[in-house]
A and B are shown apart, each in its own frame.
Chain A
Amino acid sequence: MSARVPAVVALLLSCPLLNAAAQNPTFSSKVEAIRVDVLVAKEGKPVRGLGPGDFEIFDNGVRQQVDLVSFEQLPLNVILTLDMSDSVVGERLANLRDAGRGLLDGLRGGDRAALVTFSHAVSLGADLTVDLARVRRALDQATPSGYTSVVDACFTGMMLGESDAGRALVIVFSDGLDTSSWLAPEAVLEIAKRSDAVVYAVSAGPEQDGGFLRELAEQTGGRSFEIESTKNLGAIFVQVLEEFRPRYVVSYSPRGVSADGWHQLTVRVKGRDATVKARPGYLAGR
């Protein structure tokens, strides 16, 4: 599966179809697929070798036909979204750069990476590229200054992650509270429900903005880490990559459910005593 599969499908329907959907609010056979990143683990280790027949997906309680499952086949789009506000200095900055380099070292051929940094402004250090050396250089050149726009930066990271084929992994690091974003956290959380980017967030410091980042990670099927010290940041970034890569990408075409609104997702693996982690749902329609 090399072509991008849109996460939210109702938006792609033509106007007449939207009218029809209003009268009969179910998806037509023309709707496109929903893609869900799923982590299946047992005792902390990924479970391998599963196929479409092993998964059960319920969209708003309606069982769906699983069409496609891929495992470690799609390249990754890793968007490093890193806080470069005033407070990221000294050892914290060194640890952050080391962690970023370590993560880039763990990428494979075909994977792409980008660097987004943020203070009060959001900056693109390096656009999505397979040239990881370029991203490393950008990481080394980033210098801290100013306030914190973590909400705007998370939105930017998700949009860049969506911009290309591949599985979008947004890794956010912040050690502060949002002080200068234009977007409200609620707006970005709502957009996250429409996105298939998965956000892993690391927040550091005594009063970090864990609330927003925790919710964002949860909404996208990712995970959040709240840490006191950045000493182990490198290990956390590696752990994120190790957890994300062996996730399954499960795809289905929704049937028998409303075209609009919030769709609650339930993903199970048949006959296995395993932990399943996926985003809790998605938002469709305008």
Chain B
Amino acid sequence: MNTTCRATVSSLATACLALTLAAPVSTQPGATKPPGAQTAAVHSPAAQPAKSARWLQKLKSWLQAVGEHAPGEADGPAKQVGRMTEAELEAVRADLSALVSIHQERRAVVVRYKDEPFTLSGIETLLGLTGEAAARSDANRILKRAAILHGDVAMLVVPYGSDPAGCSTQLARIVRDGNLVGSVCMGIHWAQGRALLDATLPDPRKDQMVELWYEATIAFLIERSDYANAVRQIDHAAALFPDAPGLLFEHGCYHESLASRGIQTAVQASGTGDRSASAYLKEAEGLFRRAARSKPDFVEARVHHGAVLGALRRHGEAADELRQAIAAAPEAVLRYYAELFLGDEEQALGRKDSAGAHYREASTLFPLAQSPWIALSALARRGGDRVESLSAIRRALDLPPSQRGRWEDPWWAYHTWFSRDAVTLFRDLYRPFVAGVRQ
């Protein structure tokens, strides 16, 4: 079910989302039961008890890993779950969903599911439901802890594994230094995390933890340039939280990155992309505009919006947006970006003196940065001033040599700068669950 949903979520987001939400733990009387639950009602008691025992063992083992995993660690439980196949993950999810549904029916009799007898209290013990959570058949804590576990597996375990465990049959291309250098698997644990969170009660669209999980993991994926896995997270997040400024902004950053020179050239050279830079930029423009409108003090969204408007040759609008960003920018790096971009926009508008002033301001903010001096040199050369052009390029070359791992020029990190908050996002995401580690 989830595979089908994932494939269509971008075009049929609402319908697909509704299906995913309803299936695992519907609270509506008469609502469609998940396939696992329906199977339970008609299952023959005589059918293969040995297999039933295995599924239950698998579920218990997974639940134990969920309970014991320390968020943010590539620990034993994470490695154990990292070895599970896609079919095993789907089975575990379906079984969990079915048991929660059975619990919701509140039947005072023993219910058989896959030939195993379950009572209300038995399910509560198995799933660790107590108090109000048990009263509401609310498995949120398991679902959320499990989503964190699967996210951690996708980030910390699968990428470093030597076998195909944790991968779907799809491949994603790896672009390094602008070159396509190979392919990598699509992580099945991201899909598992999404599907688990879709089942949270009463509505994942109103759950801050769910929003935070998407915001943090998308920042991580884009920072790693893992656009193939990022887009699935983004599409699902957009369906759940269409107006969240942080997610709109990240979505815009994704499109802006795909429009960048290195990615575009690699994609076109490999024949793997059918969208132009301009198409990505237009998408990014709309998303940044919405992010800035829904949160007027979102300076970073304005900076990126201005940059994208400029790339779309809407220079007047770009200059206006960048001026607003400069006026409100709390961080030197954001001001630096805005000054550099505004220099280009003023140049495009024929205001060369103003362009030079903005490049110089950028240089003042980051005196070791090369880009403002290169920009000033090109500005002078286009104006026919060879002496000034040479002087500026010499200033760029006289700067101390760049050291590996240091970013004297923030321009070099423009496309990933937004993810600087990922550490904070993950800390906030993990905090409520760290204390709950079962020893």
Q: How far is the CA of A182 from the CA of B336 in the complex (A)?
A: 13
> Which residues of B (302-348) have their CB < 8 Å from a CB of A?
340
Instruction: Determine whether the beta carbon of A152 is less than 8 Å from that of B374.
Output: yes
Set of chain B residues within 8 Å of A160, measured between Cβ atoms: 390, 393
A179-B260, A180-B412 known, 7 other contacts, Cβ within 8 Å: A121-B409, A121-B412, A176-B179, A177-B179, A177-B261, A191-B382, A207-B270
Q: How far is the CA of A281 from the CA of B340 in the complex (A)?
A: 31
* Selected interface stretch from B58-66, B133-141, B397-405, B424-432: B397-405
B26 to chain A, nearest CB (A): 48
- Chain A residues near B266: list those with CB within 8 A: 177, 207
Known contacts A148-B178, A209-B178; is A155 also within 8 Å of B409 by CB?
Answer: no
Q: Are A8 and B384 in contact (CB under 8 A)?
A: yes
How far in angstroms is the closest Cβ of chain B from A142? 10
Q: Given A160-B393, A211-B265, A179 and B374 touching (CB < 8 A)?
A: no
Secondary structure of the A contact surface, majority rule: loop
- Interface residue ranges of B369-414 to A (CB < 8 Å): 370-371, 374-375, 377-378, 381-386, 389-390, 393, 396-397, 401-402, 404, 408-409, 411-412
CB distance from B400 to the nearest CB of A (A): 10
Give the residue among A11, A85, A178, A180 with the most B Cβ atoms within 10 A. A180
Q: Given A156-B393, A179-B261, A205-B179, does the pair A191, B402 have CB atoms closer than 8 Å?
A: no
Task: Verify B397–A178 contact, CB threshold 8 A.
Answer: no
Check if A286 sits within 8 Å of B383, measured CB to CB.
yes
Interface status of A163 (Cβ within 8 A of chain B): yes
Number of interface residues of B (CB under 8 A): 37
Interface residues of B in 253-289 (CB under 8 A from A): 260-262, 265-266, 269-270
| Cβ contact within 8 Å between B377 and A159 | yes
Chain B interface, >50% SS class? helix
Cα separation A120 to B360 with both chains bound (whole Å): 21
A88 CB, nearest partner CB in chain B, Å: 10
Q: Decide if A177 touches B381 in the complex (CB within 8 Å).
A: no
Q: Is A32's CB within 8 Å of the partner chain B?
A: no
CB-CB nearest in chain B for A158: B381
Partner of B177, one of A86, A185, A188: A86
CA–CA, A260 to B383, complex, Å?
Answer: 12
Contacts of A286 in B (CB 8 A): 382-384
Chain B interface (Cβ within 8 Å of chain A)?
Answer: 176-180, 260-262, 265-266, 269-270, 340, 370-371, 374-375, 377-378, 381-386, 389-390, 393, 396-397, 401-402, 404, 408-409, 411-412
14 A-B contacts (beta carbon < 8 Å): A10-B384, A121-B409, A123-B402, A145-B404, A147-B178, A152-B374, A155-B374, A156-B374, A156-B396, A159-B393, A182-B340, A183-B375, A207-B180, A207-B270
Tell yes or no: A162 within 8 A of B by CB.
yes
Cα–Cα, bound, A187→B383 (Å): 12
Given known A120-B402, A120-B412, A209-B265, contact A191–B179 (CB-CB < 8 A): no
| A124 CB–B CB distance under 8 Å | yes
Tell me if B381 and A191 are in contact (CB < 8 A). yes
Cβ–Cβ contact A162 & B386, under 8 A: yes
Contact yes or no, B177 A147, CB < 8 A: yes
Most buried by B among A8, A176, A195: A176
With A122-B397, A183-B374, A209-B178 known as contacts, the answer to whether A11 contacts B384 (CB < 8 A) is yes
- Option from A12, A155, A176 in Cβ contact (under 8 Å) with B378: A155
State whether A122 and B370 are in contact (beta carbons under 8 Å apart), knowing that A8-B384, A176-B179, A191-B378 are contacts in the complex. yes
- Judged by a CB distance under 8 angstroms, whether A105 is at the interface is no
CB–CB A122/B378 < 8 A: no
Interface positions of A (Cβ within 8 A of B): 6, 8, 10-12, 85-87, 119-124, 145-148, 152, 155-156, 159-160, 162-163, 176-183, 185, 187-188, 190-191, 194-195, 205-207, 209, 211, 285-286
**Shortest distance from the beta carbon of A1 to any chain B beta carbon, whole Å:** 18
**B37 → A minimal CB distance (Å):** 50
Name which of A120, A121, A122, A191 has the most chain B CB atoms within 10 A of its CB.
Answer: A121
Kindly report which residue of chain B lies nearest to residue A147, judged by CB atoms: B177
Query: What residues of chain A lie closer than 8 Å to B384, measured between beta carbons?
Result: 8, 10-12, 194, 285-286
A163 to B180 alpha-carbon distance, docked (Å): 37
A156 and B179 contacting across the interface, CB-CB below 8 Å: no
Nearest Cβ in chain A — how far from B385, in angstroms?
Answer: 8
Inside 8 A of B396's CB, which chain A residues have their CB? 122, 156
Q: A182-B411, A207-B265 are in contact. Are A176 and B178 (CB under 8 A)?
A: yes
Q: Which residues of B contact A180 (CB under 8 A)?
A: 262, 411-412
Write out the residue numbers on chain A whose beta carbons fall within 8 Å of the beta carbon of B374.
122, 152, 155-156, 182-183
Contact of A121 among B261, B383, B402 (CB under 8 A): B402
A182 CB, nearest partner CB in chain B, Å: 4
Q: Are B179 and A207 neighbours in the complex by a CB distance under 8 Å?
A: yes
B358 to chain A, nearest CB (A): 13
With A119-B402, A182-B371, A205-B179 already in contact, the answer to whether A162 and B262 are too (CB < 8 A) is: no
Verify A179–B178 contact, CB threshold 8 A.
yes
Q: Which 6 A/B pairs are nearest by Cβ-Cβ distance?
A: A177-B178, A11-B384, A121-B402, A179-B262, A182-B371, A124-B397
Which B residues are in CB contact (< 8 Å) with A10?
Answer: 384
How close is B254's CB to chain A, nearest CB, in angstroms?
Answer: 17
Please tell me if the beta carbons of A187 and B179 are within 8 angstroms of each other in the complex.
Answer: no
Is A123 touching B397 in the complex (CB atoms < 8 A)?
A: yes
Bound CA span A211–B269, Å: 10
Indicate if the CB atoms of B265 and A177 lie closer than 8 Å. Answer: yes
Q: How far is the CA of A159 from the CA of B269 in the complex (A)?
A: 30
| Chain A residues, Cβ within 8 Å of B261 | 177-179, 181, 185
Contacts of A147 in B (CB 8 A): 177-178, 412
Contacts of B378 in A (CB 8 A): 155, 183, 187-188, 191
On chain B, the residues within 8 Å of A155 by CB distance are: 374, 377-378, 393
Cα(A286)–Cα(B383), bound, Å: 5
CA distance A275 to B261 in the complex (A): 36
Known A-B contacts A205-B179, A206-B179, A207-B178; the reply to A159 vs B265 at CB < 8 A is no
